[in-house]
Amino acid sequence: MLSPARTRFALLALALGGFGIGCTEFVAIGLLPDLARDLLPGVYAVNPEDANAQAGALIAAYAAGVVVGAPTIAAFAARFSRKKLLIGLTIWFALATFASALLPSFGLVLVARFVAALPHGAYFGVASLVATSLMGPGNRGRGVAFVIGGLTIANVIGVPSITWLGQQTSWRVAYVAVGVVFALTSLAVILAVPRMAANPGATVRNELRAFTVPQVWFALAIGAIGFGGLFSAYTYVSPIATDVARLPVEVVPLLLIAFGVGMTIGNFVGGHYVDRGVKRAIIVFFVGVIASLAGLLLTASVPILLFVFIFLIGATSSALSPAIQVRLMDVAGDSQTIAAAINHSSLNIGNALGAYLGGLTIAAGLGYLSPIVVGLLLSIAGVVLALVAFVFDRRATAREVPAAQAVPIDAL
């Protein structure tokens, strides 16, 4: 039995990994014009909008890496010691992030961002299971929220600070700083996280059984399509601020702070709310995302309202994350490791989908507000899909209950 102080230390170590992941995933958003200018100089000189749209592929590549890595690593590593696995994943993050900072060309950096993303979902999945174990029964939502809290706090402190550092020096210096965060996380996990026995019954086959459950696919689609709405708008927040609201580039880190504060508050509110009812939480927070995106579309040119709605988008979307993760854990049966990990696959499919579709509309000359329209349509599709999933779930439960209550013929 761990002491309360040791438990807090272990939870903070897990959250530090989430902090590093938040930095490595989101810092590219604030530095997107810098990445475009440095890695695509020829395109940028002719058409900055086209260069920014192409640079969005770096964000999509990271998202694709999460999608591939989360189920693969989670399935094959389910029988390993969770502490050793967390150490290995954080070292992987550090090395791949340093490579992103040092490689010379757009193509090589693109590959490095994909490789850096592979352990993302597995880390959050394993860390969430460790956190829920440390916090005890009845606290799944809060355990998941604590780990994700590192990511949300990164958007308050880490991403704006490292974005500012990159703007003052180079985006490469920014990624070196992120690599240092992961190196420190490895040390913290070694010192703080207790040893936890691996699950001897976990096999690749047992973990992959999650994909035979229809409600797992529903939950993945809800996350992917719904979160595409967030990322379609948020990926291009820097040019929205400078070209639509006419704000100086120095204001972009402050906008990222507003988003991060919203994410942090929404994450912990969502974690508490989820423990009272997962389905209700998903619907309530999806409606909040839709309302926030609509507000941003109508008021993006007004600086103060731009800040307000970026904050609200961060809060409502972040509250959805623990809800979808707990939903996956509820419907996946014994495949808990992969269920905890593939939530991040679905969210990053949304990341890639949103960034790609938003980039298409910008490249087509529809302006920097067009990704917000795409985001609205995707979020509406997400909430409709959630309602359909819950209807099927209710019908399946209604069929199972009478069967369970029936008296066997032999007993009559």
b/e sequence 29-49, b meaning 16+ C-beta within 10 Å: bbbbbbbbbbbbeebbeeebb
d(CA 58, CA 64) in angstroms, rounded, equals: 10
Query: What are the distances in angstroms from CA 266 to CA 322, 360, 374, 390?
Result: 10, 30, 23, 23
d(CA 292, CA 290) in angstroms, rounded, equals: 5
pLDDT of the chain, 412 residues: tens digit per residue? 667 788 888 889 999 999 999 899 888 877 888 899 999 888 888 888 788 878 888 887 887 888 888 788 877 776 778 888 899 999 999 999 999 999 999 999 999 999 999 998 889 888 888 887 787 666 666 777 778 788 878 878 888 889 889 988 999 999 999 999 999 999 999 998 888 766 666 667 777 777 788 888 888 888 888 888 888 888 888 889 888 989 888 888 788 888 888 988 888 888 778 777 888 889 999 999 999 999 999 999 999 999 999 999 989 988 888 888 888 878 877 676 777 777 777 877 887 788 888 888 888 888 889 999 999 999 999 899 999 988 887 776 666 555 444 444 344 3
Decide: 49 and 358 in contact? Cβ < 8 Å: no
**DSSP at 195:** P
Residue ranges per structural domain of the chain: 4-396
Amino acid at 304: I
* C-alpha torsion 61→62→67→72, nearest 10: 110
Cα radius of gyration rounded to whole Å, the chain: 21
**DSSP at 368:** T
Decide: 196 and 60 in contact? Cβ < 8 Å: no
d(CA 126, CA 128) in angstroms, rounded, equals: 5
d(CA 319, CA 266) in angstroms, rounded, equals: 5
Query: What are the distances in angstroms from CA 66 to CA 69, 131, 162, 318, 366?
Result: 5, 21, 22, 18, 29
d(CA 172, CA 165) in angstroms, rounded, equals: 10
d(CA 154, CA 281) in angstroms, rounded, equals: 24
Tokens of 219: 């939950």
Decide: 157 and 134 in contact? Cβ < 8 Å: no
Taking domain 4-396, whether its CATH number is 3.30.70.20 is answered by no
